[in-house]
Structure 1
Amino acid sequence: MYVMSAGSVFVVLLVYVDDIIVTGNSEADIVRIKSVLSENFQIKDLGVLKYFLGIEVLYVDSGICLNQRKYCLELLSEFGYLGVKPVSTPIEQSHVISNKLSQNQTAVKDVTSFQKLIGKLIYLSITRPDISYAVQFLSQFMHSPKECHLQIALRLLKYLKQSPGKGILFKRENDFVLKGFVDSDWAKCLTSRKSVTGFSIFLGSSVVSWKSKKQSVVARSTAEAEYRAMCSACCEVMWILNLLKELCVESTLPVKLFCDSQSAISIAFNPVFHERTKHFELDLHFLREKISAGIVIPEKVSSDEQLADLFTKGLNGLQHDTLCHMLGMLDAFTV
């Protein structure tokens, strides 16, 4: 990303290999930059942005919607799932696959096809935060998938059939306040007993970043798992703040991190170093330092309003649809 800021003129150039996006507040400077690029390189001007790296850009009344409908339909067609009956959730609410259960399952015969499917689902999750948890779960079994893992992947395709055009909406507004929702599911992995971190970061009312990932170490308590998740979200917030600074966007500090664990919040605000926290000392000091510097501030949120639940566990249909709506996901093809 290249930024030009001169007085009141502001232009951003985004380059990925041989694909380029240029935008700004001065049409004359944008035309000049495209002219300079044309003189030095052989380029093709495709006009107003509609597609970029397989991502479709739709301009709706409320803002801009990013989706991968064409990519999703091609994926469903490739695996013969265009005519399948859709399901309401990407993964079952009570899905449990223990090490013992997976050992009793037969191995997938065509491992390459399974890996290819998961790889495409990972790319699809760029605009589909609703499938992030299921994709994160399936990604752990790329090396030796079993039939039970394949069934979950095929169920995910059935879910995508329900609304292949769903994407994320960036609303047109003047609110540049950052906030985050962070959660963890303690000891979620029955094999390693590692927890799952999930968070979503909002700029105004639009979600700009999210993650669902298994933690690298085993947490000894649910408060520790939640605390480590807050540290991961804090790192993401710092990166977004630096990016906004480069784009000359002022954001209000401190950034609120909404967590539903009162124990983790109490640890973050308590300067006393005691026995129960000595085994995660680095994370402990990292988050406390950012709180004291006024960069982030944890706040309690009820479990019913915890958006990060979408990234840490399987939900029922009603909960899943509610959280997708709160994330601002939109299917512009059905509006």
Structure 2
Amino acid sequence: MCTETTLPREGEPRPPGTVRGACRSRPSPATGLALGAVLLLAAAALSLAVGTEQIPLSDVRSALFSPTGSRFDGIVRELRLPRTLIGIAVGAALGVAGGLMQTLTRNPLADPGLLGVNAGAAGAVVTAISVFGITSFTGYLWFALAGAALAAVVVNALGGTRAATPVRLALAGTAVNAALFGYVNGVRLRDLDTLDSMRYWSVGTLAKRDPALLLTALPFLVAGGLLAFALARPLGALTLGEDHARALGTSVRRTRALSVVAITLLCGGATALCGPIGFVGLMIPHAVRAFTGPDPRRLLPYCALFAPALTLVADVIGRVVAAPSEIEVDIVTSFVGGLLFIHLVRQRKVAQL
């Protein structure tokens, strides 16, 4: 809230650089989280009701809680409900990973893929297809998780296990990303069968994903989420600077290492499940930080609610604008999110951490 020293009394001169209305109280955490929950529920309802065939919300409710064996029951329970649950899980994972990554690097424009997680997953999937002949999404899942973890380990090693800094990690992640995506493109151009098999996975989508894959990836996503929330307090101390963090009893090396593990589990699991979905982990933490401030204890819960809402809305847009075909959610999030992000940058300065 604004204090007496922040806003001068009537008739008193304003401090240099201040503008009328510049100080605004942030909403309480409960208010913001309630708003996020409402938006997420509305997005889930849209995801269940809107598609090639529009289903009234009353029929959606009947299909979920009192099915009668109608055609709508099959569409809602067998097609749209698994897709919606996958969207919620993947969106929450990407949002929390993005908030964690931006806090770790103290860079509000950092993306979860900066640690090479997406590139590592893609490289492992290409290897699985071209070398081992794996064509099932279950096989992709395990290779993608392993590749994401290996890439994160390499980035952390290149960044310096003892002298790792946000800048060193970012530079190491950029180098690993470039090398891995060069490998991926080289294999895809050389092997047309691999190119054909990779085509559907490499564009992030929620469509035609086996619900069993969610059960396989869920333990990784839950473990990464719990670890991320457990790190919120030491990460908050780290935003004050390394010296302040150490004075408060925070182990800088351990906090950074565990943050990399959490990002790998979240982003690696989400990428393995749906392919790379861009922009969600970049835009949502930056947008909600205007309401939460840099404190990860407030930022991460907001990300866990608003990011899946964005993911589901983008998926619904992709179903509607190209009906009866679909546009993959990654394309929609990149396009719509890019426009909104440009608007944010033009309207105000980028928030500093």
* Smaller-chain TM-score bracket: under 0.3
Structure 2-normalised TM-score?
0.24
**RCO higher in structure (CA 8 A, sep ≥6):** 2
Structure with greater helix percent = 2
Higher fraction of strand: 1
TM-score, length basis structure 1: 0.25
